[in-house]
Structure 1
Amino acid sequence: MFNQLAPLCEKQANYIIKCQTSWFNVAHGGKRGGKNVTNGLAFCIALENHPNKLHLVAGVDSTSARLNIIDCDGYGILNYFAGRSREGKYKNRDAIYVNTSDGKEKILLVVGGGKANSYKAIKGNTYGMAYVTEANECDPTFLKEVEDRTLSSDDRKIFHDLNPKSPKHWYYTEYLAFHEEQQRENPDYGFNYEEFNIFDNLSISDEKLKQRLSTYDKTSIWYKRDILGKRVANESFLFTPIIEREKDFLVPSCSGGIISTGVDFGGNGSAHSFVTSSIPRSYTGITVLRSDRTEIIDDIHKKLKQLKKAFKEHILYVIEKYGHIDYIFADCAEKILISALQEVLDELHLHIPIKDSIKTPISSRIYAINMLMMLNKIKFVENDTKVIIKSLQEAVQDPDSDDDKVLDNGTSDVDTYDACNYSIENWYNVLLKTNNML
């Protein structure tokens, strides 16, 4: 039956069958393992004759929910209910209305769950089913609220999908472990868990699979997580490619593209850092053009003067060599220091917008830079980027963190690492997608 609907492997088909009799269903595993397609198909099948009208579709934000569940590269809910669905609003929130085979209309509320107060968006309702994508990126309070809001469902079903993290991540230790224990004690508990990887995805040809695998270092944590779908902890140095083969990432210069400067304002015992990068409009890679760092002076008046001098020297160097800077991204919390940067731009008659850094999740930053390194899609202009190269080479895993995180105890230059992220993180998703790494 299922293999007539999609090229499913036996593991995926069995998971979907178990979903129909399980209340909690978790699809865990590597990228391109078909988790969203598999979970989405199981969700839609259950929805066809579900007795409840209102259901929930969620992700770390509503955009993630739409991309991973509603659209899902053309294989999501809108595809399954093609000709039977429409988009609209429910109580002023985004929703999908679908006509199911039982002759009833069902409503799917689309929300984000990544913030501490996200749970407020789903209070006051009872949901028949809930599908949360990237569940381990959502706030724990939100996941608990989802459980509570489905308690009185006439056929309770919750679906999660997620990519692997460190075994110490809270989702495994504080959330999933409880349900695993309950299932061990009672085989009828209703917990359905399966690990998927790229080898389970029958829609990927052998040729394409071979090409994808060739981009990974088989000994790396990213191969074990992304390809094999295993829970593996990051240990010691975070960016080993640039430690082991620095020369491979060096280029004499760069031309063209979007030029963006990241600014990190250091605190006590740290430094102000500036990193400028170039992103081609084809989004095929990144070139870091220049990195500078200046130690902070305690005196507030001298501190501002020092910041302005260092910033001025950095941007003038970049403009003289590359002709322009399109954007400046800085820590949004430091309004006084941002005003100092604006004074420098006004003095130089430069009309460059200063934007707030978007604060990509810490683990996502580490992943993006590592993927770009593996693909050989990040370069550094020789002699002008020694500061950021040293920062990346010294970055180590925080042993007390339950997720990937740079140790920030003064033993390495986290300021320049942050500035580098500010300069390029606005384009992480499109870069990884263009290079088939999402």
Structure 2
Amino acid sequence: MNIPAPFSQNQMRFFWNCFDHWFNVAEGSKRGGKNVLITMAYCTILEKHPSRIHLIAGVSTATARLNILDCDGFGLKNYFEGRCREGTYQNRDCLYIQTATGEKVVLVSGGGKAGDEKLIKGNTYGTAYITEANECSETFIKEVFDRTLSSPDRKVFHDLNPKAEGHWYYKTVLDFHEAKQRENPAYGLNYGHFTIADNMSISDDRLRAVLATYDRKSIWYARDILGQRRAAEGLIYDMFDRGRNVFKLGEEPIGLRSVAVRWIGVDYGTRNDTVLLEAYDDGNILWITREYRWTSRRERKQKTDEEYADDFMAFMGESYCATIIDPSAASFIEALRRRGVYVMEADNDVLNGIRRVSTLMSRCLLKICSDCKGTIDELESYHWDDKAALVGIEKPIKEDDHGCDVVRYLCNTAIPHWRYGE
């Protein structure tokens, strides 16, 4: 059995409070040890809990498995090693566990989509652990509360990374229970806030290396490192600097094209722009050297997939390279594959992609040729959607963002995530 690193004093306080509080919420920065902390408390409670049926969940069953069953080698399967087996119960995935108080059945469920609450009806759960709870649907969270009401020892666990202050989870879940706790100190809410400094498995040298990958003035530092609830607002790439992030053709390192890995990123549009960007990764800096852009509305001509494929082949030239494309452009992807182009579907995680682009920009590890005028103009005007932020939803304004999307595809897909300190 793997043994986790010692807990910090902050984590120990939360751990012991779990045994006499019914609702336990761990919020804070990434790599703050929240999953391991709750999993240890959850397993200890499960060992002697009187109920047989229990629940673990996440935005998807895969998330629940990764964060709770596996949990970097410290999950339920590790804690109950030799006493558990995976199977099904009522046609649902589960983990059967032999404990000191008999066999337990821990159902595994996704809760990210509307309608997922139907998957957990029909049972009363003794305990429930929902990972990344503020990524799940509001109706699913409510159903879990309802399904644990009659437990003889009710225990509900949530872990979450911070969102904007206006996110529905804070308004409808946490604020409500915090008010109840203030009214009655014996109500049973155990809240803990954790940062990466609470994770005792990270050495001081490793922590310094991780901190060096962040711009300390950015929203990502506030959230990922300090664990603060911060709204994404205003200009997205406020760290973009033409003096630091833009180069003129010929200023790139001599021999770059012969030693670096070449990519072409694509954002495919029908009525909107189609943008191609050529990029070279030298293992340290991502150099974006050329841009192709076709604006159907301005040109008053919509090109077919085959015409765009012709343009792509001309842009790529005789030296073939891997291509990263928006995964929704299925017909264009097929047109390129018929021509022998190696296509990778882009990682389209918008928020993580924006964070990674911001990281490279702030560290001067993303440089764009001044000839890529359309993309540079878009990066300088790319804004968060203020109206969406009012209801706790974070997304960019979908307008004049095609070059921004390609840059995000390249940084999110072509650059190994370890280079971001992840």
| TM-score relative to the length of structure 1 | 0.82
1:265 corresponding residue in structure 2? 269
Question: What are the Cα deviations for residues 4-33 of structure 1, in whole angstroms up to 9, with x where unaligned?
Answer: 974111111111111111121110001121
**% same residue:** 39
Q: 1:16 to 1:340 in 2, by over 3 A?
A: closer
Contact 2:275-2:291 within 8 A present in 1 as well: yes
- How far does residue 40 in structure 1 lie from its aligned partner after superposition? 1.0
Post-superposition shift, 1:249? Answer: 8.2
> SS of 1:97's equivalent?
strand
- Alignment correspondent of 2:216: 218
Query: Contact 1:262 / 1:276 at 8 angstroms: preserved in 2?
Result: no
- Residue in structure 1 matching 2:180, options 163, 182, 194: 182
Deviations 1:150-182 (A, max 9, x none): 222222211111111211222222332211222
Contact 1:311–1:341 (CA under 8 A) maintained in structure 2: no
Pick closer, same or farther for the CA change 1:130–1:286 going to 2, 3 Å: farther
Which residue of structure 2 lines up, in the alignment, with residue 8 of structure 1? 7
TM-superposed deviation, 1:133? 1.2
CA distance in 2, matches of 1:437, 1:171: 28
1:39 is aligned to 38
Matches within 5 A, 1:60-139: 60-102=59-101, 104-139=102-137
Secondary structure at the residue paired with 2:64?
A: helix
Aligned positions of 1:201-350 closer than 5 A? 201-243=199-241, 246-247=244-245, 251=252, 253-254=256-257, 255=259, 257=261, 259=263, 261-265=265-269, 267=271, 270-275=272-277, 288=288, 290-297=290-297, 302-305=301-304, 309-320=307-318, 322-326=319-323, 328-331=325-328, 339=331, 342=334, 345=336, 350=339
* Partner-residue secondary structure (3-state), 2:7: coil
Moved more, 74-83 or 248-257: 248-257
Q: Which of residues 371, 374, 398 in structure 2 aligns to 1:387?
A: 374
Structure 1 distance, partners of 2:51, 2:243, is: 57
Deviation at 1:369, TM superposition (A): 2.5
Which whole-Å CA distance do the structure 2 matches of 1:140 and 1:330 have between them? 28
CA offsets per residue over residues 224-247 of structure 1, 9 Å max, x none?
211111112223221233237543
Question: Residues 418 and 212 of structure 1: is their aligned pair in 2 closer, same or farther, counting only changes over 3 Å?
Answer: closer
Offset, 1:248: 7.1
Contact kept in structure 1, 2:29 and 2:224, CA below 8 Å: yes
**Aligned-partner SS, 1:20:** helix
How far 1:195 sits from its partner (Å)?
A: 0.6
CA distance, structure 1, for counterparts of residue 285 and residue 51 of structure 2:
47
Distance in 2 (alpha carbons) for counterparts of 1:52 and 1:290: 63
Q: Give the letter aligned to residue 128 of structure 2.
A: A
3-state SS in 1 of match to 2:105 = strand
**Change beyond 3 A, Cα 1:54–1:389:** farther
Equivalents in 2 of 1:246, 1:311: separation in Å? Answer: 34
Greater alpha carbon shift after TM alignment, 246-255 vs 199-208: 246-255
Offset, 1:44: 0.9
CA drift of 1:193 comes to: 0.8
The residue aligned with 1:406 is 396
Residues 324 and 214 of structure 1: is their aligned pair in 2 closer, same or farther, counting only changes over 3 Å? closer
Provide Cα deviations, 1:31-82, integer angstroms capped at 9, x if missing partner. Answer: 1211111111111111111111121122222222222222222222222222
Letter matched to residue 89 of structure 2: Y
- Whether the aligned pair in 2 keeps the contact of 1:99 and 1:105 (CA below 8 Å) is yes
Which stretches in structure 1 are left out of the alignment for 5+ residues? 333-337
Q: Which residue of 2 aligns with 1:160?
A: 158
Rate the CA distance shift 1:437–1:309 in 2: closer, same or farther, 3 A: same
Cα distance in 2 for partners of 1:275, 1:53 equals 56
**Aligned partners of 1:29 and 1:195 also within 8 Å:** yes
Report the Cα offset of residue 365 of structure 1.
2.9
CA deviation after TM superposition for structure 1 residue 110, in Å: 1.9
CA-CA distance at 1:272 after TM superposition: 3.0
The answer on whether the counterparts of 2:262 and 2:321 sit within 8 Å (CA) in structure 1 is no
Read off the aligned partner of 2:205 and give its amino acid letter: E
Aligned counterpart, 1:335: none
Deviations 1:315-373 (A, max 9, x none): 421244x42335543425xxxxx546755x48xx613476776643x333322322444
1:200 aligns with 198
Measured after TM superposition, the shift of residue 425 of structure 1 is: 4.3
Report if aligned partners of 2:55, 2:128 keep a CA contact under 8 Å in 1. Answer: yes
Check whether the contact 2:94–2:105 (CA below 8 A) recurs between aligned residues.
yes
Q: Cα deviations across residues 358-400 of structure 1 (Å, max 9, x unaligned)?
A: 643x3333223224445655x3452564433332222122212
Q: Any conservation in 1 of the 2:264–2:276 contact (CA below 8 Å)? A: no
**Deviations for 1:296-317, whole angstroms, at most 9, x for unmatched residues?**
23999x4135x75455323421
Contact 1:242 1:249 in 2 (8 A): no
- Of 109-118 and 163-172, deviating more is 109-118
Q: Distance in 1 between matches of 2:4 and 2:324?
A: 47
- Most deviating of 140-149 and 44-53: 140-149
Change in Cα spacing, 1:140 to 1:356, as seen in structure 2 (3 Å) is: farther
Q: 1:170: which partner in 2?
A: 168
Residue 51 of structure 1 aligns to which amino acid in structure 2?
Answer: P
Render the CA deviation track for 1:115-155: whole Å, top value 9, x for unaligned.
Answer: 22322322222221111111111222221222222222222
Secondary structure of 1:27's match? strand
Per-residue CA deviations over 1:170-223 (Å, capped at 9, x if unaligned) read 222233221122222222221111110112222222222222222222222222
* Matches of 1:249 and 1:42, distance apart in 2: 53
Cα distance change, pair 90–373 in 1 and its aligned pair in 2 (3 A): farther
- 2:375 match: secondary structure: helix
